[in-house]
Structure formats: structure tokens, C-alpha cells
Structure 1
Amino acid sequence: MMTTYTVAGGRLSLDDGGQPAATLRAAVWIDLLNPSRDEVQAIEQALSLELPTREEMQEIESSSRLYREGEALFLTAPFLYGADQGEYGSTPITFVLAGQTLLTVRYATPKAFSAFANRAQRSPGLLTSSDAVMLHLFEQVVDRLADILERLGADMDRASQSAFRTAKGTTKKKANARDADLKDVLILLGEVGEVTSRARETLLGLTRILTFVNAEKATAVRKENKPIIKVLERDVRSLVEHASFLSNKANFLLDAVLGIINIDQNGIIKTFTVASVALMPPTLVASIYGMNFAHMPELGWRFGYPMALLVMICSAVLPILYFKRKGWL
């Protein structure tokens, strides 16, 4: 799907579908979402450039993501999407600065894109030039990532409180629900770690793009838009640091939760071990009197059976009392 944004006389004109070459060249922003082959050919003919394929957009080497062809800049980075729906992922998005037109090629819709498109319809002043569109779009992405990281921080605080509150539970009811609570905490920490890593990947991609554009800003960015790059670099740097802090916190909480689980498992294993040791002497006594030898003095004794039961009970109780005295139970 192709959407063109054209500003004329301070008013925004938004069109979907195929447009003549003259209209495409006059557009300040052309957004391609899952473009068809016909749409790609129309763009390439109108703007005299060659768009990267989806496979080329997924290449990880810097020279394939950030480069110049003639007067056009090609900038590609992975972007986080779907964080609110729980079906999150990263998708490469290519930004092409071609003269007066910004071209975006994407195969998913991060929320920042739809939010910026709505803002642009209310405030056409954001679309004064192609570089202004790109930088304001980056601002929207950074704001969105900041919101996501704030939410992840709140989620981790709740996970931390839940984990340690569960660990302090001593009643039988809390002990029975402990496994389910700790499982929920582990799942939450896994999601937080995954989203945080993808958010950091997006921020690092933005950092590379801003560094590249900063080196090319003499020809790629208008003078009035250059301060936006400095603000973006500062915001991205602070978010990278915050994402690193959240990642370290998630690792700490993960270690703490796993430690709690190990303590519970050790307690269970210790209980089984003590029970096994306590049952060994009665088993020995029962084994002795279960042997079928002809000459066993107790076979003819009237009180042999009660005596054997008493010996087995005492041999089971005495080790348990000893373990409790030592503090092993």
C-alpha cells in the first residue's frame, strides 16, 4: 500500500493508491507498506532511484544499511513493533532521502508511524521538508520507546515486589500458590528482557542513522532542522543508558527468582532425603525378620512381632528427632 503526503499552501493532501509521476515527485513523504511490484516500479521511475528489496533491508552490515547513491541517502534500521499487543518483533524500515521527498519502505507498522501520521494530518507544519519529516518521525519513535521503557520499568517493579512477597510467604496456602506466582514472574521477566533487547536494537539503529546523517547533514539536513539532530542524539543516548539499566535489573531479578526456586527445590529434596534416611533402619529390621532361616530365636517368641514393630518405629522416630535437634528439619 502506498500513501503520499503532499503539502501545498499550508494544507496537507493525503492520497492512497497509484499516483502519476508528477504527483509522486511533488510529495514530501511517500509511505510504502508491503509495497507491490507495480508500486515499487512507479516509485523508482518517478524518483529515478532503486529501492532495496526486503532481503537487502535485512542485511546487517553497515554498508548495506547506510549508504548514498547519487543525491539520495538510504538509511535502514530495525524498529520495534507490537509491544502493546504482546506479539512484538523487530522489522527493518528503510528511509530514503531523495531531494524534496522522504520515502519509507516497511513491512510492519510500529505504533509511532500511525501516531505520527495522525499528528501530521492535524499539524501539516511537521511536513515542511523531507528531512523535517524524517527527524520528526524519529522523535515520535523515541517518544514511543520512552513510553515502552517506562512501562517495562513499572512491570519489573511489580514483578520484584511479587517475587519477594511470594518468597516471604510462610502459610500453607501461600506455599501452594508460590509456584504459580514465581512462574508468572519468570514469564514477565522473559517478556521484559525480550522487549528491552529489541528496544535497545532500535535505539542503536537510530544512533547509527543519526551519526551517518550528521556526517551528511551539510547536504541532507536543512539548517533550521539541525538542532533536532542534537536533541535526538541526547534523547537516544539517555534511553540507551536506561535500557541498559533495565536489562541489568531484569538479570538481577531473574537470578533472584531462580535462587528462590532453588531454595524451594532444595527444601523439597532435603525432606525426601530425611524421609529416606529415617526409613532405612525400619527397612533393615523388616528385612532381617523377613529372612527364611530355620533357626531364628524370635520365630517362636510370643512377643516377637510386637517387638519388631516397636523396634521399627523407634528406629524411624529417633533419626527424625536427631535431625530436628541439629536443625536439619
Structure 2
Amino acid sequence: MITTYSVQDGRTLRQEGIPGIEALRGAVWIDLLSPSLEEGRAVEAALALEIPTREEMQEIESSSRLYKEDEALFLTANFLYGVDEGEYGSTAITFVLASTTLVTIRYVTPKAFAIFANRVQKTPSLVASPDGVMLHLFEQVVDRLADVLERVGSDMDRASKQAFRNARGTSKVKVKARDAEMKDVLIALGEVGEVTSRANETLLGLTRILTYVGAEKSMAVRKENRATIKSLLRDVRSLVEHAAFMNNKANFLLDAVLGIINIDQNGIIKTFTVASVALMPPTLVASIYGMNFDAMPELHLSFGYPLALLVMVVSALLPIAYFKRKGWL
């Protein structure tokens, strides 16, 4: 799908579908969502640019992601999407910045793009220039990532409190429910680590793009927007540090929760070990008197059976009393 944005009579004009060549040339922002071959060729013919394919967008080399052809800059980075739906991931999005037009090529719709598209309808000044569109879109992405990290941080704090409350034994729940809570904590911390890692990947991609654009002497980047680039770089770098801190905290909490689970498992194993050791002497007594030899004087005692039971009970209680005295129970 192809969507074009331009400003006419002080209002934002949005058009969907393949317009004419003149309309494409007059658009400030051309947004390509899963473009068809026909749509890609129309944009290439109108702007005299080569639109990268999806395979080319997924290349990881810096030279394939950030490069210049004539006066157009080709900028590609991975962007986080799908956090609200719970099916998050990263997708490569390419920005082709020419002197008169910004072309974005993407195959999913991150929420920041949807929000920015709605803002453009209400604020025509956002599409005053192609580099301004790109930078304002980056600002929206950064704001969105800040909200995501804030929400993920709150989820991590709740998971941390729940885990340590269970560890202290202050949670009045049954063992089965407690195990289910610890499982939920592990899942929550795993999701925190995954989201922060992908958010950090997006932020690092933005850092590379902004650094490249700021250093590139191209007619596509106007002087009045260079201050915005520096401001964005500061915001992105601060979020990179925050995301790294949250990722480290999530890893620490994950190790702590796994340690708590290991302690609980060790306690269970210790209980089974003590029970098996306590049952060994009674088993020995029962094995001895279970043998069928004629020369066993206790077989003919009238109180032999209760005596054997008494010996087994005492032999089981003595190890338990010894373990308690040693503090092993």
C-alpha cells in the first residue's frame, strides 16, 4: 500500500493508492507499506530512485544500511513493534531521504508510525520538509520507546515484589498457587529482558542513523534541523543507558528468582533425603525378621511382633532426633 502526504493551502493532504507521477513528485512523505512491484516501480520512476528490496533491507552490514546515492540518503534500522499486542518483534524499516521527498519502506506498522500519521493530519507543519518529517517521526519513536520502557519497568517492579514476597513466606497462598506465581514472575522477567533488548536494538539503530545524517553533508538535511538531530541524539543515548540498566536489572532479578526456586527445591530434596535415611533402620529390622530361618529364637516369642514394631519405630525416631539436634531439619 502506498500513502502520500503533502501540504496544500495550509492543510495536510493524504492520498492512498498509486497517484500520478506529478503527485508523487509533489509529495513530501511517501509511505510504502508492503509495497507491490507496481507501487515500487511507480515511486522509482517518479523520483529516479532505486527502492531497496526486503532482502536488501535485512542486510546487517553498515554499508548496506547507511549509504548515499547522489543526494539521497538510504537509512535502515530495526524498529520494535507489537508490544501492546504481546507479539512483539523487530522489523527493518528503510528511510530514503531525498531533497524534496522522504520515502519510508516497511512491512509492519509500529505504533509510533500510526500515531505520527494521525498527528500529521492535525499538524501540517510536521510535513513541511522531508528531513523534518523523518526527524519528527524519530521523535515519536523515541517517545514511544520511553513509554514502553516505563511500562516494562513497572511490570518488572511488580514481578520483583511478588517474587521476594513469596521468598519471605509472607504470601498466604498454597504451594501450588505459589509455584504458579513464581512461574508468572519468570515469564514477566523474560519478557522484560526481551523487550528491553529489542528496544535497545532500535535505539542503537537510531543512534547510527542520526550520527550518519549529522555527519553527512547532504542537501537533503537542512541546517535548521541539525539542532534537532543533536537533541534527538541526547535523548536516544539517555534511553540507551536506561534500557541497558533495565536489562541488567532484569538479569539480576532473573538470577535471584532462579536462586529462590533452587533453595525451595533443595529444601524439598533435603526432606526426601532425611525421610529416606530415617526409613533405612526400620527397613533393616524388617528385612532381618523377614528371613525364614529355623534357628531364629525371636520367631517363637509371644511378644516378638510388637517388639519388632517398637524397634522399627525407635530406629526411625532416633535419626530424626539427631538431625533436629544438628539443625538439619
Instruction: Classify the TM-score, shorter chain.
Output: over 0.9
Alignment match, 2:14: 14
Alignment match, 2:311: 311
Q: 1:183-239, CA deviations, whole angstroms, 9 ceiling, x for partnerless residues?
A: 000000011110000000000000010111011145331111111001100000000
Q: 1:234-257, CA deviations, whole angstroms, 9 ceiling, x for partnerless residues?
A: 000000000000001001100110
Q: Could you tell me how far apart the structure 2 residues matched to 1:309 and 1:262 are?
A: 38
- Paired residue type of 1:242: H
Alignment of 1:207-222 (within 5 A): 207-222=207-222
Residues 80, 90 of structure 1: 8 Å contact kept = yes
Residues 29, 103 of structure 1: 8 Å contact kept = yes
Q: 1:1-30, CA deviations, whole angstroms, 9 ceiling, x for partnerless residues?
A: 000001123221110001111110100000
Alignment match, 2:260: 260
Alignment of 1:131-210 (within 5 A): 131-169=131-169, 173-210=173-210
Q: Could you tell me how far apart the structure 2 residues matched to 1:170 and 1:305 are?
A: 47
Alignment match, 1:100: 100
- Paired residue type of 1:30: I
Task: Give SS of 2:216's match.
Answer: helix
> Displacement, 1:325?
1.3
Alignment match, 1:121: 121
- Paired residue type of 1:204: L
Q: 1:215 to 1:324 in 2, by over 3 A?
A: same
| 2:67 counterpart of 1:70 | no
Q: Could you tell me how far apart the structure 1 residues matched to 2:250 and 2:84 are?
A: 19
> Displacement, 1:170?
5.8
Alignment match, 2:31: 31
Task: Give SS of 2:294's match.
Answer: coil
Q: Could you tell me how far apart the structure 2 residues matched to 1:314 and 1:170 are?
A: 37
Residues 116, 137 of structure 2: 8 Å contact kept = yes
Q: 1:115-140, CA deviations, whole angstroms, 9 ceiling, x for partnerless residues?
A: 00111110000111000000000000
> Displacement, 1:173?
3.5
- Paired residue type of 2:256: A
Contiguous gaps of at least 5 residues in structure 1? none
Return the TM-score normalized by structure 1. Answer: 0.98
Alignment match, 2:239: 239
Residues 2, 32 of structure 1: 8 Å contact kept = yes
Residues 99, 221 of structure 2: 8 Å contact kept = no
Task: Give SS of 1:220's match.
Answer: coil
Task: Give SS of 1:35's match.
Answer: coil
Using the TM superposition, name which of 35-44 and 214-223 deviates more: 214-223
Q: Could you tell me how far apart the structure 1 residues matched to 2:111 and 2:171 are?
A: 45
- Paired residue type of 1:206: L
Alignment match, 1:2: 2
Task: Give SS of 2:267's match.
Answer: helix
Q: Could you tell me how far apart the structure 1 residues matched to 2:197 and 2:88 are?
A: 11
Q: Could you tell me how far apart the structure 1 residues matched to 2:288 and 2:276 are?
A: 18
Q: Could you tell me how far apart the structure 2 residues matched to 1:193 and 1:124 are?
A: 38
Residues 200, 243 of structure 2: 8 Å contact kept = yes
Runs of 4+ in 1 over 2 A off after TM superposition: 170-177, 217-220
Task: Give SS of 1:92's match.
Answer: strand
Residues 4, 30 of structure 1: 8 Å contact kept = yes
Percentage of matched positions with identical amino acids: 75
- Paired residue type of 1:142: V
Return the TM-score normalized by structure 2. Answer: 0.98
Task: Give SS of 1:85's match.
Answer: coil
Let me know the Cα RMSD of the aligned residues.
1.1
Q: Could you tell me how far apart the structure 2 residues matched to 1:102 and 1:312 are?
A: 87
| 2:87 counterpart of 1:87 | yes
Alignment match, 1:273: 273
Q: Could you tell me how far apart the structure 2 residues matched to 1:19 and 1:177 are?
A: 60
Q: 1:46-87, CA deviations, whole angstroms, 9 ceiling, x for partnerless residues?
A: 111111110110111101100011121100000000011101
Residues 169, 175 of structure 1: 8 Å contact kept = no
